[in-house]
Structure 1
């Protein structure tokens, strides 16, 4: 009798399990293969994993753009258990970022970014609301707004002249040899970031929590390099939230160690600056402004906001400038045209920020580089928190949105020969010299990048000075060296160029 009851119970359990599995498969099958009326077309995928297998190359902007040719500018994919709407044209991208902003103003971050952003304690990653507005006001008032940029201009001028001196030093030390612009630019940008954020450049610091004296490049690695690489780390559990309870200790420990080191270094840097401020030094900095913000900011918020200004100053401007110099060195006719324009406007004087509006071709070089080598090809995912429409399609709440800026900037319906780097396309009268919206590389609407003005000033003047001072030529075989870091358009290997001082 007991055996019969056991068999009956086992049969019941197996039946329930089988039924549950069948129901789950049916739900997944419906979501993958049946699209509700009025919703965007869906890219076919596999049950359970959806389209994840098609994104294994980790170049989503390229894959998304290719799918747009088949499914149109708006379509859905599934990344595991998550539904994602991908936008691939300027029209629908602007609709999402500007017109429908109120429905798409929050983010759901993957595991790595939750940790590295301190739970969205950043201007770039915080949800739109009072906290975001406070963070952004502090940033614009202190270092990135128009008035702050005027006040901090000497730092930028000094940075660019230091780079010119370093390049001349490279030529004297190794005539005819290749120069590494990235190494020089990275060092000077980091100096600028530290001065603006903390009030001084720093060569080394003792970090008590680590028990170590860190050199300048160890500080850079802890604050910039490691977090940048950590931000693109993929944790498979992010695609299957119902399996979040499954441990993934290797991924977690790696990111948490980055966070621990970054936090320890920032605490040491901030404590150093507090002592300087108490002595009446370093009072004109982002840190000092945050500490004086009516005590409304917590210690963690201050630490994260100062760190954000350092990492963002130290990265994307360099990426754009390096690609611009790569293209100019590759295309001597464009380089000569730019040099002639600078000579005509500046004569024997070095280029100044006041000259930038008088140099339409220099501005065209900058914007064409943003278009062709968009620094952030896919905008960090946004979360739709209420039913809305985009591109005429119904998008339900709970869906995530990926805005593929790369596809917008290489759309054949928008741009003639989009794969070609042609600065002259931006000489059209419809573009103003300092129009930062033309490629959406800095976003659009209320979440437009706060650092867009600084990026333009640094990149444009740097490019102008580099061309004014030197003739640039790519090393042999360098034209083919266009690989990028996964998930980004960052050049994988530093540009190698031979530079000749102009007489």
Structure 2
């Protein structure tokens, strides 16, 4: 739903002829009538959510063509209220734009809304929900989440992997100092350095080592580290927002869309080939008797109920999620601080008062309330995942005082929740001080809904906060940051997560 590339009906007419198009329209109206009555639209004493006006057949698809639905959803909330419905082709979607109703959906009404609704692209790229974040809330989800918390993301696992995080932060700072020495008057691309080191951390946690190259027999080539990163991280993140028009008209799923299918299938095949090669290489190490504290070794010895495909997908999930969303938050935080010298200096003074001449470490984070406020305010204004992956209502329920019939899709617009004027004062402004107010519970990590809530709360919340807060603190402790001319207005975003369209460019100056 992130992009509307073509009118589905126009595609049908162009390729299938008028007869198929007319047949599809007839089927659409027939099914729409049957589904509306069967699914209970209007059968409850509670009112239905307000409906955003659209056009026949395609509904509101044309109004979402900007490819940033979270912005459009937020604008509509100002007119239609925090809960409303839209039509995306043949599908009815209820959009939630306020934190209270979002928490109602994720906690109180969870049993009615616990099933994932995936696009065709995500269905292929997740190997039909074979990963924690995109699976339904079933036994596989519970088992897989328990495994990833035990070995990678839980509190005890974070203690074991602490050395890798410290090494990563140290490497980034060292490279920044080296860049400043060699290019004292040039702007640094923080993303390029930080993304590479995050990927190295992800590989160490998943496989036990930072892989520099790998021979992939199925592809008949040896891949460099950058090529591995592209296949495992960049390509799937791009493919995840590709649109198959049949997602919006499921009764026409029989109609071919070969260009889309071939593109996504090739991404999937290449990714699995690389994962198999990486696992094969590490199995040689294990066979030699060398054991490492990593996710692969743990899964092979402890996850006896998982299939080979599921193990490949869970390993890949740990790599891509460590490599992406933490980068998004850290880069946006540094952008906001570089834009605002006064707040940057306030954070620097806090770090100095807490750490003195020592480098800030994870142990000091609990003594740094303003640093935590910077982190949470960045999550609020720049939500890494602005819309929660769609859920499917499998039984009649209610949300926000409205009747929600079975068969509806639920979109939780985190961006809209965090731009709610009824909750946040001047929400469009980046103001970390708001999180120092006593009305915010410091223990409520999920105030901004950035990590979801309820039984599906993000397993990586602890790791994300440890990495991002330590990195932000260390970058400000070591350097003064200033945006280059024109960079302040460069705030466009791209992708499934809200990456800056262009990497932040900043002039840095050593504080030593």
Q: Which TM-score band applies after superposition, normalised by the shorter structure?
A: over 0.9
Equivalence for 2:385: 376
2:486 matched to 1:466? no
2:278 matched to 1:269? yes
| Contact persistence 1:273–1:282 (CA under 8 A) | no
Q: Alpha carbon RMSD of aligned pairs, Å?
A: 1.9
The structure 2 residue matched to 1:455, chosen from 453, 460, 464, is 464
**Distance change >3 Å, CA 31–CA 58, structure 1 → 2:** farther
| Contact persistence 2:387–2:414 (CA under 8 A) | yes
- The one-character-per-residue Cα deviations of 1:53-79 (angstroms, maximum 9, x if unpaired) are 100111100000111111111111000
The structure 2 residue matched to 1:174, chosen from 183, 188, 200, is 183
Deviating more after overlay: 36-45 vs 86-95? 36-45
2:471 matched to 1:490? no
How far is 1:431 from its partner? 3.1
Q: 2:22 and 2:252 mapped to 1: Cα distance?
A: 20
Equivalence for 1:253: 262
The structure 1 residue matched to 2:422, chosen from 401, 406, 413, is 413
**Distance change >3 Å, CA 138–CA 246, structure 1 → 2:** same
The structure 1 residue matched to 2:315, chosen from 295, 306, 310, is 306
Equivalence for 1:75: 84
Q: 1:24 and 1:496 mapped to 2: Cα distance?
A: 50
**Distance change >3 Å, CA 23–CA 176, structure 1 → 2:** closer
How far is 1:435 from its partner? 3.3
How far is 1:35 from its partner? 6.8
| Contact persistence 1:364–1:423 (CA under 8 A) | yes
Equivalence for 2:436: 427
**Distance change >3 Å, CA 311–CA 486, structure 1 → 2:** closer
1:228-247 correspondence runs (5 A) = 228-247=237-256
Q: 1:204 and 1:358 mapped to 2: Cα distance?
A: 41
**Distance change >3 Å, CA 451–CA 246, structure 1 → 2:** same
Q: 1:196 and 1:240 mapped to 2: Cα distance?
A: 41
How far is 1:293 from its partner? 2.1
**Distance change >3 Å, CA 488–CA 155, structure 1 → 2:** closer
How far is 1:436 from its partner? 1.4
Q: 1:209 and 1:18 mapped to 2: Cα distance?
A: 45
2:60 matched to 1:39? no
Equivalence for 1:362: 371
Q: 1:473 and 1:392 mapped to 2: Cα distance?
A: 48
How far is 1:295 from its partner? 1.9
Deviating more after overlay: 19-28 vs 311-320? 19-28
SS at match of 2:500: coil
1:34-433 correspondence runs (5 A) = 36=42, 38-293=47-302, 295-433=304-442
How far is 1:31 from its partner? 8.9
Q: 1:334 and 1:408 mapped to 2: Cα distance?
A: 25
Q: 1:41 and 1:280 mapped to 2: Cα distance?
A: 63
Q: 1:221 and 1:281 mapped to 2: Cα distance?
A: 29
Aligned residues: 486
Query: Normalised by the size of structure 1, how large is the TM-score?
Result: 0.94
Q: 1:422 and 1:354 mapped to 2: Cα distance?
A: 25
- The one-character-per-residue Cα deviations of 1:200-245 (angstroms, maximum 9, x if unpaired) are 1100000000000000000001100000000000110100001100
How far is 1:490 from its partner? 1.4
How far is 1:27 from its partner? 7.0
Q: 2:109 and 2:261 mapped to 1: Cα distance?
A: 35
Q: 2:22 and 2:217 mapped to 1: Cα distance?
A: 57
Q: 1:19 and 1:344 mapped to 2: Cα distance?
A: 72
**Distance change >3 Å, CA 436–CA 477, structure 1 → 2:** same
Return 5+ residue gaps in structure 2 as ranges. 1-20
